[in-house]
Structure 1
Amino acid sequence: MIRIIDFLAAFLGLLFLWPILLIVVVIGFFDTGSPVFIQTRVGKNKKPFNLIKFRTMSVDTKSVASHLANEASITKLGVFLRKTKIDELPQLINVLKGEMSLVGPRPNLFNQEELIRERDKLGVYDVLPGVTGLAQVQNIDMSTPELLANTDKKMIDTLTVQDYFKYIIMTVTGSGTGDAVKPRK
């Protein structure tokens, strides 16, 4: 049932939000010259997939988890996109393709070995990664691998359709700040 909801929500989201997506792409060309960011992430059963987002950091930023990146890397447009969570909208394509769910554990990078170990122990990779989830609305990011893995597991074990919609609504209305970024030096 969740897959059907995911598919319909992603399809309708892309259908109704395409003007916003188009505007961000155009502005993004002026901001970085490369408005779309595609990065290989760990998916269900640890299968790699290409996560699609709007670029919020300069093109030459190293491919690391957000909490390891420097705030100086974030562009002016990127600050706005992150604050409004508009940078996440292209992931609706990943949801449509069945690589992600709207709600699930946030997909990590393959170089986040400690997080992979913690999630592996708890079976977190048995489900599709998500655009948002319990950890995100509670401001738990990938800088605390054990806490994140435990929170992901709790969400997986207790997720109801009501919680599914609650996490989406909380995310859209501003709960959670996303992954932390190191302050500017």
Structure 2
Amino acid sequence: MVCDVFHRFSDQFNTFSVGMESMGLDVALITSAADAAGHETQIRSIQDTTILTLRLPQYSTSIRIVKRTFDVILSALALIVSAIVTVPVAIAIKLTDGGPVFYTQQRVGLRGKPFSMIKFRSMVVNADALKAELARQSGQEGRFIFKMKDDPRITPVGKFIRRFSIDELPQFLNVLRGDMSIVGPRPPLPEEHAQYNQIYATRMLVKPGITGPWQVSGRSDLSAEESERLDVAYVQNWSIIGDIVLMLRTVSAVLAQKGAY
């Protein structure tokens, strides 16, 4: 129950409210100063005090079960169907330079929990060691997301699989393990997560996704501010129907190759 009437409209209250509601908890407010837009509301009377409770219905246990079931079934099907593409890609990567087929990288997941994200390797073996120097040369030091066109670390096979997002297909294994969801904000690197402000950190209240608002809205061409706005809005407004729409938009985004580098 929140009784402080002076800071209802602050960023601090907004992030606190979303954090509580995303765990399936209600937030109870004195009715005189509640900003309840976008929340399911209910008026209650407790010990002669009128109270307005807020909740985001999409974070109920039943909806979470539906989303998880949806993730497991679709991921299993995707891994089976995509084998016709992933097997030849794995062979091509191995033949390129003899290095590993898969690339695992630590990312930050639900509520700040780290996990190892799996991708097809699209860069040279020592790509991480070269990142700091390339960021300095391209003026991207300190950016949330480091991306550059014509990245010299990308192999010829890597350019092809990145163009059509084939490198991300192994992430369906992360979905089966429960680290990720099919739809959600992109999983950040630990150094990116460390720079999040209070508002942007709310994106960690849901599982990161293989696809999501960032991937279908321009990807690497988006500014940091645009990425932040999309991810925060997703957390507050997500729904199963919305996830299906984002998946359909992913198909056109992959074909258009906008921001894919």
| TM-score > 0.5 by shorter chain | yes
Question: Residue 27 of structure 1: which of 88, 92, 99 is its match?
Answer: 92
Question: Residue 98 of structure 1: which of 178, 185, 201 is its match?
Answer: 178
Deviation, 1:94, is 0.3
Equivalent residue pairs, number: 180
Question: Residue 146 of structure 1: which of 210, 222, 225 is its match?
Answer: 225
Q: Which residue of 2 aligns with 1:59?
A: 125
Amino acid at match of 1:72: P
Q: Which residue of 1 aligns with 2:69?
A: 4
Deviation, 1:139, is 1.0
Deviation, 1:80, is 0.7
Q: Which residue of 1 aligns with 2:243?
A: 164
Percent sequence identity over matched residues?
Answer: 30
Secondary structure at the residue paired with 1:72?
Answer: coil
- In structure 1, distance between residues paired with 2:199 and 2:181: 19
Question: Residue 15 of structure 1: which of 67, 75, 80 is its match?
Answer: 80
With over 3 angstroms needed to count, the CA separation of the structure-2 counterparts of 1:178 and 1:61, relative to structure 1, is farther
- In structure 2, distance between residues paired with 1:163 and 1:134: 10
Question: Residue 137 of structure 1: which of 169, 193, 216 is its match?
Answer: 216
Deviation, 1:174, is 3.0
- In structure 1, distance between residues paired with 2:260 and 2:251: 18
Secondary structure at the residue paired with 2:147?
Answer: helix
Deviation, 1:146, is 3.5
Q: Which runs of 5+ in 2 are unaligned?
A: 1-65, 132-144
Please tell me whether Structure 1 or Structure 2 has the larger radius of gyration of its CA atoms.
Answer: 2
Secondary structure at the residue paired with 1:71?
Answer: coil
With over 3 angstroms needed to count, the CA separation of the structure-2 counterparts of 1:29 and 1:39, relative to structure 1, is same
- In structure 2, distance between residues paired with 1:171 and 1:131: 10
Amino acid at match of 1:24: V
Give the root-mean-square deviation of aligned CA atoms. Answer: 2.5
- In structure 2, distance between residues paired with 1:179 and 1:113: 22
Deviation, 1:158, is 1.8
Per-residue CA distance 1:120-146 (angstroms, 9 max, x = gap): 655111110001111211114497433
Matched, 1:42 2:108: yes
Question: Residue 74 of structure 1: which of 128, 141, 154 is its match?
Answer: 154
Question: Residue 192 of structure 2: which of 102, 105, 112 is its match?
Answer: 112
Amino acid at match of 1:75: T
Higher relative contact order (CA 8 A, sep 6+): 1
Q: Which runs of 5+ in 1 are unaligned?
A: none
Deviation, 1:167, is 1.3
Secondary structure at the residue paired with 2:128?
Answer: coil
